[in-house]
């Protein structure tokens, strides 16, 4: 197999979800992406939460693998809307930094 000096041809849809969409079809509108992200997040997280609340089931971290793509879409939409507001972007970056420092100690506790 030889290297021709160029990358692979472009894939229709340019992502994992591209196979479900016909080639050349437009991406969903912003409102549709909001609905998809919210429905994905609620639809995959709610069953685990209900089972935990009603029957005391343990929710394991790997259950979040199903939920995370929906959260990514929702967060991407929020960040895209805040792009024109530098104060909001700074506040968001500060909140992420505080959360990282509070939730994930990078040094062992004494």
The total domain count for the chain is: 1
Asked, for residue 2, whether it belongs to a domain, the answer is: no
CA–CA dist 18, 5 (Å, integer): 25
Contact between residue 71 and residue 41 where contact means Cβ atoms under 8 Å apart = yes
**By CB neighbour count within 10 A (0-12 exposed, 13-18 middle, 19+ buried), where does 37 fall?**
buried
Q: Locate tokens 């420092």: which residue?
A: 101
CA–CA dist 66, 53 (Å, integer): 19
Asked, for residue 48, whether it belongs to a domain, the answer is: yes
Tokens representing 75 are: 């967060």
- Confirm whether pTM is higher than 0.75: no
* Enclosing domain of residue 66: 27-103
Mind listing the pLDDT tens digit for each residue in 11-34?
A: 444 444 444 555 555 656 667 888
Mind listing the pLDDT tens digit for each residue in 30-87?
A: 678 888 888 998 898 888 889 889 998 887 777 788 888 888 888 888 878 877 888 8
């Amino acid at each position: 197999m030889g290297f021709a000096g160029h990358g692979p041809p472009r894939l229709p849809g340019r992502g994992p979800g591209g196979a479900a969409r016909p080639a050349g079809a437009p991406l969903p509108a912003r409102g549709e992406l909001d609905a998809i992200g919210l429905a994905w997040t609620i639809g995959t997280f709610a069953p685990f939460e209900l089972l935990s609340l009603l029957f005391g089931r343990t929710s394991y971290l790997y259950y979040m693998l199903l939920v995370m793509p929906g959260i990514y879409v929702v967060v991407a939409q929020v960040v895209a809307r805040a792009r024109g507001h530098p104060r909001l972007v700074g506040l968001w970056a500060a909140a992420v930094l505080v959360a990282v420092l509070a939730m994930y100690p990078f040094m062992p506790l004494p």
